[in-house]
A and B are shown apart, each in its own frame.
Chain A
Amino acid sequence: MTALPPEPGTVPDLTLGIPDVDAPLDPPENDQELGDAAEAAEAADPEDV
């Protein structure tokens, strides 16, 4: 077996094309509520594209 490369996260990933972002580093406090609400809305009205 060949040697495995470093596990992801041990070195910085590609940055090419990544925009400058002004966003909070952590998810919002209401992340669970936002996700659950969107999930319920989409379940009630699925988008067939």
Chain B
Amino acid sequence: MADGRTLDHYAMRVVHMDGRPINWHNPPKATDQVMWTKRTTSSQTIHGSFRTICHLDRLNRLAYLRYGVGISVIQRDWNTGVPASAGTHDFDSVFDVWINGVDPWEAQRFLRRNGFGCWVRKPPLFGWHLHGFTLPLREGTSISDDFEVHGFKVGVYVDGGYSTHGSLVTSSQLADYYNHAFGLSGMHTPGSDKSWYPKNIEATIFDLKRFVEHRAKVGDAA
């Protein structure tokens, strides 16, 4: 598991948009915008909803403990500068990531176990990376509206359009993930992705309340 590694000197922080530290005893709302002190591999700042950035920070901490290396963010959420990623990265929760030195299939299993709905994207269609998103809390019978009902806005292909168009207007990567499909054009057949998925995907969803309570108890570094 942790191989004896600790987070005593963990340096990344979730902060307010103006750089002020988070008061973990009086935290922002889950949908409030905050920043992460880690930057993308191209030195862009990373921001997003409090829930999303806290989840990213937790994943980073877990990766340090497990692999001795954090998560590299190749493409951030709230990123509108990449035409090929329109409809996915333009709003909250969605990242392209990598864990240096870790086999991408191992990284995919690790991230999926910890509430990051993701897929290995690979040549020849893509350069190597993992594309994914913070799974929203489950609510009701429709999976694809889960971001919208909790107040999060995501790209049209991430939730099929619920949070941007008010209804399902196209394919949904969120639904594809629960259906073990690939989340790519023409690759939405349930069960078509034979790689490992958690037995109970809902059980992997990030618990913001627990994370905040833990931060309030032990601080940012621990």
Contacts and interface: CB of A to CB of B under 8 A. Distances in A.
Contacts of A6: 86, 185
Contacts of B58: 49
Nearest to B196: A35
Interface string A5-27: 11111111111111101011101
Interface residues of B, number: 63
Contacts, number: 131
A27 B87 contact: no
Which of A11, A21, A24, A35 has most chain B Cβ within 10 Å? Answer: A35
Contact of B128 (A1, A10, A21, A39): A21
A17 B75 CA distance: 9
Contacts of A17: 40-42, 72, 74
Nearest to B1: A45
Contacts of B87: 4-5, 7-8
A9 B185 contact: yes
A6 B170 CA distance: 11
A47 B196 contact: no
B17 to A, nearest CB: 24
Contacts of B194: 27, 31
Given A7-B185, A39-B198, A49-B62, A19 B128 contact: yes
Dominant SS among interface residues on chain A: loop
B159 interface: no
B183 interface: yes
B29 interface: no
Interface stretch (B45-53, B103-111, B137-145, B146-154): B103-111
Contacts of B165: 1
Contacts of B1: 41-42, 45, 47
A45 B16 CA distance: 32
Contacts of A16: 41-42, 74-75
Given A14-B96, A17-B74, A45-B1, A8 B169 contact: no
B98 A34 contact: no
B175 to A, nearest CB: 14
A41 B104 CA distance: 20
A37 to B, nearest CB: 10
Given A39-B198, A49-B58, A49-B65, A14 B128 contact: no
Contacts of A36: 196, 199
A27 B42 contact: no
